[in-house]
Amino acid sequence: MKIFFLASSILSADFARLGDETKKVLDSGIDMVHFDVMDNHFVPNLTMGPMVLRSLRQYKIHADIDVHLMTKPVDNLIPQFALAGANYITVHPESTDHLDRTLDLIKFHGCKVGLGFNPATPIGFLDYVMDKLDMILLMSVNPGFGGQDFIPSALEKLREVRKKIDKSAYNILLAVDGGVKVNNIANIALAGANVFIVGSAIFNSNNYQKTIRNMRDELDSVSHGVIH
């Protein structure tokens, strides 16, 4: 059986009640929290900083938090988010002039290492840094805003990266971020993902628990080879 993880992108949550919303989605069955950091430079939006992450930890949010840094430059933020309570820190190749050094910096500060790829970013970078990674994140929308539609070409990219992981000797999670919904999560899983970052599909629903349960049912069908 395949093991799948659901991560909640709190970018789509009600920021006026961020602590409560995060706790609610975790209580509804989410495995981990995805924390999108945007700087209005690397991507066209401005979101959350280390103080917000620290506040969530002080609010007794104990789940793993993946901090997705969509910022440039990026290195100066890594120790700040590590200190604030990140478990994973994910960066993009375009955000640093020295990717190998940046990945080492994440590890040095005690966090698991993620590498993210925008829809048109080639995956060739992986050939040189696979040994440093705990997670590979493929964007299935252009980063910046929640609620976008899934880009179909991301499925082929997922298949290519899954082959690279399977051929390697490394235990690396493969995450997909953007446009993940109940009606496409099974196909995304079949393409090779095992971490599904979900935002608006949950936070815009009337019943978080029911939406998450429906997603789990779809993933269970993949695990057991019975596709709905």
Residues classed as catalytic = 36, 177
The residue count for the chain: 228
Query: What number of other Cβ atoms are within 10 A of residue 17's Cβ?
Result: 11
Q: Give every CB contact of residue 212 below 8 A, 6+ residues apart in sequence.
A: 6, 25, 28, 29, 30, 202
Bond before 73 cis per omega within 30 degrees: yes
Nearest one of 202, 198, 220 to 210, comparing CA atoms? 202
Cα–Cα distance, 220 to 222 (Å, whole number): 5
62 contacts 30 by C-beta, under 8 angstroms = no
Q: How far is CA 161 from the centre of its chain?
A: 15
Q: Which residues are CB-contacts of 48 (< 8 A; sequence separation ≥ 6)?
A: 35, 36, 37
The runs of H, that is alpha helices, within 126-207 are 126-129, 154-167, 185-190, 200-203
Q: 15 in helix, strand or coil?
A: helix
